């Protein structure tokens, strides 16, 4: 999800997507979701560099799971509290960050390739008996 806004003559492009933004990080049955997130992440990075000499600032928000009523009340209760998440994102905006995470996505935004591989292997081991 992307938003473009202007504030005091500065244009901002803000891209939101959830935290699994590399093709390696996540479970195989979620390949469509993972490839889309990887593409958005790559696009956002490229756009940030291409517009670096303009008044447009490109900001990437990669949230973790958030407790919302998306899809119906009580269906997504396993995530971060919505108000705390929103406060954390606004704090990152106030600090001028170009990549903003919250909760577990903070560390995942900065993972090396080896760390992504290890995280993915551990996730798969923990959940492989629950996969279809």
How far apart, in Å, are the Cα atoms of 132 and each of 7, 18, 81, 127? Answer: 48, 23, 29, 11
- CATH code (residue 101): 3.40.50.720
The verdict on pTM exceeding 0.75 is no
Looking only at the bridges linking them, the beta strands covering 56-62 and 10-16 are: parallel
- pLDDT value of residue 128: 75
**In total, how many domains does the chain have?**
1
What tokens were used for 17?
């997507």
Q: List the pLDDT tens digit at each of the 132 positions of the chain.
A: 555 555 665 555 555 555 444 444 555 566 666 777 778 888 888 888 988 998 888 888 887 778 887 777 877 777 888 899 999 999 999 999 999 988 888 888 888 888 878 887 887 788 777 765
- pLDDT value of residue 20: 47
Cα 103 from chain centroid (whole Å): 11
- pLDDT value of residue 83: 92
97-115 burial, b if ≥16 CB within 10 A, otherwise e?
eebbbbbebbebeeeeeee
Q: CA-to-CA distance for 42 and 44, rounded, in angstroms? A: 5
Full domain range(s) for residue 27: 2-130
Q: Is 103 left (phi over 0), alpha (psi -120 to 50) or beta?
A: left
- pLDDT value of residue 11: 53
Q: CA-to-CA distance for 52 and 102, rounded, in angstroms? A: 25
Q: Quick one: DSSP state of residue 92?
A: H
């Amino acid at each position: 999800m992307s938003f473009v806004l202007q504030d005091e003559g500065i244009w901002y492009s803000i891209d939101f997507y959830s935290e699994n933004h590399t093709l390696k990080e996540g479970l195989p049955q979620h390949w469509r979701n993972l490839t889309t997130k990887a593409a958005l992440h790559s696009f956002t990075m490229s756009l940030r560099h291409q517009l670096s000499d303009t008044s447009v600032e490109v900001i990437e928000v990669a949230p973790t799971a958030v407790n919302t009523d998306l899809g119906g009340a009580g269906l997504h209760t396993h995530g971060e509290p919505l108000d705390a998440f929103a406060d954390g994102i606004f704090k990152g905006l106030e600090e001028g960050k170009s990549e903003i995470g919250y909760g577990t996505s903070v560390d995942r935004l900065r993972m090396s390739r080896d760390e992504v591989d290890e995280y993915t292997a551990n996730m798969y081991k923990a959940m492989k008996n629950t996969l279809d």
